[in-house]
Amino acid sequence: MICPACGHLLKKIHIYGVEVDACHGGCGGLWFDNFELKRFDEPHEPVDEALLLVPIDPTVHFDPDMKRDCPKCSVPMMRHYFNQQRRTHMDSCPQCGGNWLDAGELTQVRAEFREKANRSAAKAQVNKHLRWFAADS
């Protein structure tokens, strides 16, 4: 398959029984077939440095805002935010369900899950103290 961002040949990487395609030596992006990203997007899930530190060629230039075609089925992909925090963009294929992340975006996605979990835990702790205070009044 060909990288939808820079046109470089994608290299297959086998991680924990999943075959991910990486733009190794190009722009450093990652292609996940349908449902594969769910195996690596949360911080408690195992991930290998091969996914987080894909070698990049600094001379490779691409337009991060360019419309991209799916490397698997050539259908134009849809750009959207990964979640409600609206920090990390991703490109998804409406036909095959695959997902493209630019270099470094998998790390951002995993960090967003960690932040969300920390906020949820803090909110639960505050609510616990507020219930205790209200019951004591």
The answer to whether position 70 is within a domain reads yes
Q: Residue 120 is part of which domain span?
A: 11-136
Strands (E) in 1-137, as ranges, are: 11-15, 18-22, 30-32, 78-81, 89-92, 99-101
- Tell me the pLDDT tens digit for each residue of 87-111: 678 889 999 999 999 998 888 888 8
The answer to whether position 78 is within a domain reads yes
The answer to whether position 3 is within a domain reads no
Quote the number of domains for the chain.
1
Residue type, 28: G
Asked if residue 124 has pLDDT above 50, the reply is: no
The answer to whether position 36 is within a domain reads yes
The answer to whether position 4 is within a domain reads no
The answer to whether position 100 is within a domain reads yes
- Tell me the pLDDT tens digit for each residue of 47-64: 888 888 899 999 998 888
Confidence of residue 86 (pLDDT cuts 50, 70, 90): low
Provide, rounded to the nearest whole percent, the portion of the chain with pLDDT above 70.
Answer: 78
The answer to whether position 130 is within a domain reads yes
Q: In what order do the strands lie in the sheet with 18-22?
A: 11-15, 18-22, 30-32, 99-101, 89-92, 78-81
The answer to whether position 5 is within a domain reads no
Helices (H), ranges, the chain: 49-52, 105-136
